[in-house]
Structure 1
Amino acid sequence: MAPRTTRPVGTPTRGTTNPNRLRRMDRWIAAVHGPALRRSPEPPLAVDLGYGAAPWTAVELLARLRTADPRTRLYGIEIEPARVEAAKPYEHEGLAFVHGGFEVPVPGRVALIRAANVLRQYDEEQVAAVWARLRGRLAPGGLLVEGTCDEIGRRHVWVALDADGPRTVTFATRLGSLERPSDLAERLPKALIHRNVPGEPVHAFLRDFDRAWAAAAPYASLGARQRWIRSVRDLAADWPLADGPRRWRQGEVTVRWEALAPRG
């Protein structure tokens, strides 16, 4: 069991949640991190940190992870005791809810920590320390996924980190709702959202993405998906992408962290 403090580490979120809100992140995790889960000699343990006022996201995450590895177990962690009590009726084999925060009070090391819409209320200067604390709870080969989405999960941006630090940034969207790629800027995670200004890499990336999207306008007659794929192919000439057409078709693109990391 992780060391316990006198009180959970962190502050309560607003608790806003909806069924299927985090589906894009869940599916990406299952697809990209699934092989690591299956390689685990022990049943992999996952955490949904700060699941909110209702347990839907934890229930759904476990179901999707089990498509990758049926052995997966999951803890939903909430800093508000009343939210934990409200979630208890949804517990079943492999799913439990506990009171806690960034200390992640669960037994052993964790294969996956998903923290969605948790750090938006924190200062940018606090993010690195939170990331470091959560990374310290990862098992070898474990993954921390931290990001933000809109209220119904149409637009989502997240950072994936391993024990050594951030590795990638993923932009994901319902393509039919997208006017231009820079619409995703409002969902940048806390580490990046205040860096969407001229001179910062993430601003340059979104600028180039908008230009590629505009250049791919003729593909719109084939559908938003084909326009997205064409735009991302053009982006790949100048930006280090970490995925390929299989993920692009899902309305995603993943970029190496070092290309978007804040300056200074």
Structure 2
Amino acid sequence: MTSRAPARPVGTVTRGTTNPNRLRRMDRWIAATHGAELRRAAEPLAVDLGYGAAPWTAVELLRRLRSVAPRARVVGVEIEPARVAAAKPYEREGLDFRHGGFEIPVPRRPHLVRAANVLRQYDEDEVAAVWQRLCARLAPADPAAASRGGLLVEGTCDEIGRRHVWVALGPEGPRTVTFATRLGSLERPSDLAERLPKALIHRNVPGEPVHAFLRDFDRAWAAAAPYASYGARQRWIRAVRELTADWPVTDGPARWRQGEVTVRWGALAPRAGA
């Protein structure tokens, strides 16, 4: 039996800013890295939490997930009732919109929760509790089925999705941090610092791991300058390859070619007590 949802949704209203294709980099990463997990589920359920003033991101999430998991369903959840009402005409088979917040008012534990540009307005010391609440709602791991459980993807991007940084979390907590960009718009990797999620954005200071990572990334980028004659993609790949000597990069060239790099959360997590 599921517990009764709170009388009022948990959370606060966001600005609601959204644009078509804003979250395409995050969606493509989810499809590539979590698609097999979704396919293993009999009825894979994804939640677009805080989709904003227009439903574009939820509509796009359904299309991109179904390219790798044809049975996937998406529920868009918004804390502002007027936004839910405006999204209702876009409902279709596999896509619903509901009023709610961090309690995630869906009938079963989701296999994916995407929360993009939701926590930027919160204080840093509120993030851990929100993460814990959302992770507790995820589908549990099932070792017998080789399942690591559901995935929470929480992060921030610019208005048109050129630069994006997100944290991926499972039922057990944070796993990785991914940096993604349209390479043609990048002067140096540390330009991505302005899009760090709330858990990290105030930690980009000397002495913190994320600051050291971006410093090393800039140095690797500078050292890879001769590869720029072959294009920004080749320069990025070379820079990331150099990073792997000192940082636990978890992906490979297939993702690097997309303007991405993923690092284990433990290497970038804020220093305790700092």
Asked if TM exceeds 0.5, the reply is: yes
Structure 1 consecutive aligned stretches of length 4 or more whose deviation exceeds 4 Å: none
Q: 1:95 to 1:225 in 2, by over 3 A?
A: same
* Aligned residues with identical type, % of pairs: 82
CA distance in 2, matches of 1:69, 1:164: 24
Separation of aligned partners in 2, 1:180 and 1:67: 33
Which residue does 1:112 correspond to in 2? 112
TM-score by length of 1: 0.99
Q: Paired residue for 1:246, among 254, 258, 269?
A: 254
Describe the SS at the equivalent of 1:258: helix
Question: Which amino acid in 2 is paired with 1:137?
Answer: R
Alpha-carbon deviation of 1:2?
A: 5.4
Q: For each residue in 1:183-226, what CA deviation from the matched residue of structure 2 results, as whole angstroms up to 9, or x when unmatched?
A: 00000000000000000000000000000000000000000000
Question: Which residue in 2 is equivalent to 1:134?
Answer: 134
Match of 1:95 in 2: 95
Structure 1 Cα separation of the partners of residues 178 and 193 of structure 2: 12
Give the SS at the match of 1:68.
coil
Instruction: Give the SS at the match of 1:136.
Output: helix
1:229-251 Cα deviation digits (max 9, x unpaired): 00000000000001000000000
> C-alpha distance in 2, partners of 1:75/1:146?
16
Matching residue of 1:154? 162
Aligned pair count?
263
Instruction: Supply the distance in 1 between the matched residues of 2:198 and 2:13 (Cα, whole angstroms).
Output: 16
| CA RMSD in angstroms, aligned pairs only | 0.6
The within-5 A match list for 1:28-43 is 28-40=29-41, 42-43=42-43
Corresponding residue of 1:10: 11
Name the stretch that deviates more: 46-55 or 3-12.
Answer: 3-12
Amino acid at match of 1:227: R
Deviations 1:23-82 (CA, angstroms, capped at 9, x unpaired): 000000000000100111x21000000000000000000100001110000100000000
Within 2, Cα distance between the matches of 1:99 and 1:38? 27
- Report the Cα distance in structure 2 between the residues aligned to 1:61 and 1:205, rounded to whole angstroms: 30
Distance, in Å, in 1 between the alignment partners of 2:252 and 2:73 is 29
Q: Distance in 1 between matches of 2:156 and 2:3?
A: 26
CA 1:241 to 1:2, structure 2 compared with 1: closer, same or farther past 3 Å?
Answer: farther
Q: Does the 8 Å contact 1:2/1:107 carry over to 2?
A: no
1:230 match: secondary structure: helix
Q: Structure 1: where are the runs of 5+ without partners?
A: none
Which residue in the other structure is 2:70 paired with? 70
Q: TM-score, normalised to structure 2's length?
A: 0.95
Displacement after TM superposition at 1:3 (Å): 2.9
Q: CA deviation at 1:126?
A: 0.3
